[in-house]
Chain A
Amino acid sequence: MSFILSPEEWEAVRLSLIVATRSLAISLGPAIGVAWVLTRYRFPGRALLDALVHLPLVVPPVVVGWGLLLLFGARGPLGAPLDAWFGIRLVFTTAGATLATAVMSFPLIVRAIRLGLEGVDTGLEAAARSLGAGPLDRFVTVTLPLMAPGILAGAITAFAAGLGEFGAVITFAANVPGETQTLPLAIYAAIQTPGGEAMAARLAGIAFALAITGLLLAEFIARRMRRLLGQG
């Protein structure tokens, strides 16, 4: 068995990295916002928002993919105007795979960021206030740096999980080589193909290595940061 990857296999690895990176890029900002709202505010509908955010974690990924298909499909209530106004098509495209991955990893990021935010002493924000720092100033100079370990841990976990997202991607974006065929989809396709075990094994090895690296990196950086922030 050869350990050298074929161009198609490299393509799957590359695509996985692109999808995971992009999905992280689009979900990080909203995740910080949602985590902030859920941690710092008490309002009617908070429990509902919390449940909604966690939904992709508990609903079968296929169902999430199907839901996205209904919403963002060519004739879906969101998919049709996106196509008509911006020419954006999500089904069968890398953008679609990215969206599905982002939705699936969203609860993971939100959870990690919330944990980080709950560890931030609001007394420090009060101190910054009395020293003359306004809301945005306080957030950028005090809250954000102090919750950075949480954000980082969330981002890396979500990235690692994003590399392996399967059910929602294949349901919503289908299994198009070079377009939506990320690592897990390529592995699935290889297993389905007679004589594809060697390819599946190589790809599985890469997926394993990427996941382990990501998790170790997350742990390492989080520990360094905590020490830097005087929390460890």
Chain B
Amino acid sequence: MLEVTLRHRYQRDGFALDLAFTLPGNGVSAIFGPSGCGKSTLLAAIAGLLAPDEGRILLDGKVLLDTAHRLSLAPERRRCAMVFQDARLFPHLSVESNLRYGLRRAPRGTSGPALAEVVARLGIGHLLARQPRGLSGGERQRVALGRALLARPRLLLLDEPLAALDAPLRAEVLPFLAGLREFGVPMLYVTHALDEVDALADRLILLREGHLIAADTVEALALRTDLPLASRRDAGAVLACCIAAHDPARGLSRLEFPGGALLLPLRPEAPGAQVRVRIRARDVAVATHPIEGLSTQNILPATILGIDPAPQPQEVFVHLAIGPSRLLARLTRDSVDRLGLSPGRAVFAVLKAVSFDRGGTAEI
């Protein structure tokens, strides 16, 4: 469990960080917010690379920082390994020596994945003898991830590890990042990319101008229309789905979620795999009667739970219930008036497209 209370003011520009939160000791928590919201400062303070004005940080009950008692554990003794945006591989060491750097310094008696295991999971076996300067950005970041993980940290801190990569490289590294979840090391992941949150995070901490504005599961915060998240183009509900079956002949996969199912273009995952799918609110239409002759096959019976204002004054968010699952639809006020939509009414949710955790969007 990570307990954080922090207060810090930068002398230079007067930017202030002032927040408190508690996170359970497992899974991946994403710290999300626009640049300059203080998310990297927060991470540096937890790592010990920045000394905040005031604060108290406990990791699994161990005090890392307590300014009231003038206590601050040196970063090298916090066992919070950090992965930086710029990888920061040691240029004078081979890839293998870089990986072993953390491993060698892990306290005796700590358990964790072995070098071979991490190398296999990150697919960097063929790079071991190479020097960092010859690696691509994506390869570098994968090595940096392995190096941090092999230090057997109690908490893995990731400071926008994909932000310096272009789209193809991000798509290359993201699955490896998701694969690290298997090792069970709790992660704190700083990002300003929502697709990374969807692919990796269990929980989401939203920051704005140095303050925490919300903290909850990714699914719960995706449904909040009062947060800055709602004004994004990719705002929408997140469904935890299970791959039920593949139909290669039709090129479709069937994904089930509590209360319904979706047909999507063929997915690479094996049946039974858990996938998170973000259904963007602007891709959801609402029909009052079942319609035929529509290209999309995803027409789901739903009940209207409520109607919230959207950032655009002429638009609204319509909350839909499909069994225990929730969807958001972004409609114009005109449509709502025309169709006479109101809470409690049974309708049909028509999904025009579905965007995946890997960042791609599929027309269906």
- Verify B91–A129 contact, CB threshold 8 A: no
**Cα–Cα, bound, A81→B177 (Å):** 66
Which residues of B have CB within 8 Å of A130? Answer: 47-49, 75-76, 78, 80-82, 148, 151, 157
Contact flags A121-149 to B (C-beta < 8 A → 1, else 0): 10110111111111001100110011000
**Cα–Cα, bound, A126→B74 (Å):** 11
**Cα–Cα, bound, A231→B77 (Å):** 30
- Tell me whether A230 is interfacial, beta carbon within 8 Å: yes
- Tell me whether B137 is interfacial, beta carbon within 8 Å: no
The chain B residue sitting closest to A146, CB to CB, is: B92
- Verify A145–B92 contact, CB threshold 8 A: yes
**Cα–Cα, bound, A66→B92 (Å):** 45
In this complex, the interface size class of chain A, counting residues with CB under 8 Å from chain B, is 20 to 34
Q: Which of B51-59, B99-107, B204-212 contacts A (4 or more CB under 8 A)?
A: B99-107
Nearest CB in chain B: distance from A106 CB, A:
27
Q: Which of A132, A145, A230, A231 contacts B76 (CB 8 A)?
A: A132
Beta-carbon contacts under 8 Å, B67-85 to A:
74-82, 84
- Tell me whether B356 is interfacial, beta carbon within 8 Å: no
- Tell me whether B142 is interfacial, beta carbon within 8 Å: no
- Tell me whether A84 is interfacial, beta carbon within 8 Å: no
- Verify B90–A134 contact, CB threshold 8 A: no
- Tell me whether B131 is interfacial, beta carbon within 8 Å: yes
The chain B residue sitting closest to A225, CB to CB, is: B92
- Tell me whether A206 is interfacial, beta carbon within 8 Å: no
**Cα–Cα, bound, A130→B81 (Å):** 5
- Tell me whether B88 is interfacial, beta carbon within 8 Å: yes
- Verify A123–B131 contact, CB threshold 8 A: no
- Tell me whether B133 is interfacial, beta carbon within 8 Å: yes
Which residues of B have CB within 8 Å of A58? Answer: none
Beta-carbon contacts under 8 Å, B95-127 to A:
101-102, 105-107
- Tell me whether B147 is interfacial, beta carbon within 8 Å: yes
**Cα–Cα, bound, A121→B81 (Å):** 18
Contact flags B123-151 to A (C-beta < 8 A → 1, else 0): 00000000111000000000000011001
Interface centre among B79, B101, B147, B148 (most CB of A within 10 A): B101
Q: Which of A124, A134, A137, A231 contacts B88 (CB 8 A)?
A: A124
- Verify B132–A230 contact, CB threshold 8 A: yes
- B residues neighboring A (CB under 8 Å): 47-49, 74-82, 84, 86, 88, 90-92, 101-102, 105-107, 131-133, 147-148, 151, 157
Q: List 12 A-B contacts (CB under 8 A).
A: A126-B75, A129-B49, A129-B76, A131-B76, A131-B81, A131-B101, A131-B102, A131-B148, A132-B79, A132-B81, A137-B76, A138-B76
| Smallest CB-CB A-B distances: 6 pairs | A230-B133, A132-B105, A230-B91, A130-B82, A127-B88, A131-B102
Query: Known pairs A127-B84, A129-B75, A131-B148. 10 more at Cβ < 8 A?
Result: A127-B82, A127-B90, A128-B101, A130-B48, A131-B147, A132-B79, A133-B105, A137-B105, A142-B90, A230-B133
